[in-house]
Structure 1
């Protein structure tokens, strides 16, 4: 991966817009102590997705913003841009339609960081994976910060293995595997939730089936009851009608007898 240009604005000691052109071959930055050479490396790590304040020699990530001096006021934000040659089309799908990529990271006080690739807002994870696929990134052993050599000498075997894996260019594969494992775990959790939901729905379906059978039986009993009540009322009406007819016949007979 060929870096072409590093732009800084408000990042640590680079309060004014500054551009570092990185030519092919060897580019050297020389100067006295305290002139900001280490800040250039930290800016490079920061725009590549570094999220550890300690790696930026600060207590919080907002410490990368120019804090001000007796002559100049503090800035409210910091921004670093990195231009990359993508003529070989080695960027991930979705960012591979241009010969050049410009990754920009901007941090604002009390608002956090925002990333952009060629002007399009992206996630920090997208930027980290872009560099991981190119076997580099903020944790690359090619970026040697102050004190890192002694840390490597005193490192545990696991840490040394990570350095060798980064140097071998398989760091991106591990991150891709980690993402795939997270997705698989998420899918398994979703399936478990689906099974729980199905069990709950089965219980509800069984209860509803019992209620449906009870309702059907109620309707059957209600219909039979209405038929029985109708028959009873008809029988009572018929009996009353017969009694009335009999009474009328008796009255008629009594009347003829009286005459």
Structure 2
């Protein structure tokens, strides 16, 4: 199962209806700063039931609707429709919000009465964690700055048994070594208190806890941790929002090789400026600003070497 189509209208910076057809492996969204690339990921998360305004990068619910510009009036409704495809079937999920605050939730064209019912229905279809499987540049290392009880709760959200915790540690070690070869890491939970942390050993360096890691070390460790946790959660895809600048330059190639491996089993939708990441994609989606200040999906093409060589459009 993968997200095959995104329809957006009136959500954040998207005034005119936009249709995006994603590849089942790796798709990238490109464009200049401030054109609305990340808003596409917000639209997906919101349509999957996300209501945390911080995670949606909003200060108020009204920010979910296009507020207007000098030449374009505010919209009356924001609507996002998702189509998931796989095994010869399709799942359609739709969410809408009006300026009056009225919401609409549809799954397979059947109306649901509340956001909680909507999320429960999506969970029963294997889409419950999908809205959480997103890594943003500005939130990549947030785990290390949470209070100890919050770190523990964050880990336990993905753990239902001791065997699963062991599996998370195995994946964390595997992904960390892929990002920084020769490194070793483990997640530990304080069985007496409320703490949770990671301990990492890098080549030619001693063991360090999370708070003592350097910026580049912390970013790579955080990415390995989040990907390990995501692997335990049911969901068809991961979304990454300009993660590369947080990593040391030497680790970006390692990250891209890891992402290729992950894409064998999960769909990846990536917002990026990096040409080396764009080269991995099966489909490329470009966003530009329209004259009225709204976002515009300028192009969509299947990537090949010829197109990569002439890529200068954003």
Whether TM-score is above 0.5 comes out as: yes
Residue 157 (structure 2) aligned to one of 152, 162, 181: 162
**Counterparts in 2 of 1:131 and 1:154: CA distance versus 1, 3 Å:** farther
Q: CA RMSD in A?
A: 2.3
Alpha-carbon contact 1:49-1:138 (below 8 Å) kept:
no
Alpha-carbon contact 1:152-1:160 (below 8 Å) kept:
no
| TM-score, L = length of structure 1 | 0.56
Of the two structures, which has the highest relative contact order with CA contacts closer than 8 Å and spacing of 6 or more? Answer: 2
1:129 aligns with 2:94: no
Alpha-carbon contact 2:5-2:21 (below 8 Å) kept:
yes
Question: SS where residue 126 of structure 1 aligns?
Answer: helix
1:63-74 equivalence runs, <5 A = 63-74=63-74
Alpha-carbon contact 2:84-2:92 (below 8 Å) kept:
yes
1:147 aligns with 2:138: yes
**How many angstroms does 1:58 deviate by?**
1.8
Q: Relative to total residues, which structure has the larger helix share, 1 or 2?
A: 1
Alpha-carbon contact 1:50-1:138 (below 8 Å) kept:
no
- Unpaired segments of 5 or more residues in structure 1? 89-98, 172-259
1:75-114 equivalence runs, <5 A = 75-87=75-87, 99-114=89-104
- Residue of structure 1 in register with 2:309 after alignment: none
**Counterparts in 2 of 1:137 and 1:112: CA distance versus 1, 3 Å:** farther
**Counterparts in 2 of 1:170 and 1:42: CA distance versus 1, 3 Å:** closer
Q: Relative to total residues, which structure has the larger strand share, 1 or 2?
A: 2
Alpha-carbon contact 1:62-1:107 (below 8 Å) kept:
no
- Residue of structure 1 in register with 2:192 after alignment: none
**How many angstroms does 1:66 deviate by?**
0.4
Rounded to whole Å, the distance in 1 between the matches of 2:234 and 2:92 is 24
1:30 aligns with 2:41: no
Question: SS where residue 29 of structure 1 aligns?
Answer: strand
**How many angstroms does 1:169 deviate by?**
2.8
Alpha-carbon contact 1:9-1:16 (below 8 Å) kept:
yes
- Unpaired segments of 5 or more residues in structure 2? 161-228, 236-314
Alpha-carbon contact 1:58-1:64 (below 8 Å) kept:
yes
Question: SS where residue 6 of structure 1 aligns?
Answer: strand
Instruction: Mark the structure with the bigger radius of gyration.
Output: 1
Rounded to whole Å, the distance in 2 between the matches of 1:135 and 1:15 is 27
**How many angstroms does 1:39 deviate by?**
0.3
**Counterparts in 2 of 1:59 and 1:150: CA distance versus 1, 3 Å:** same
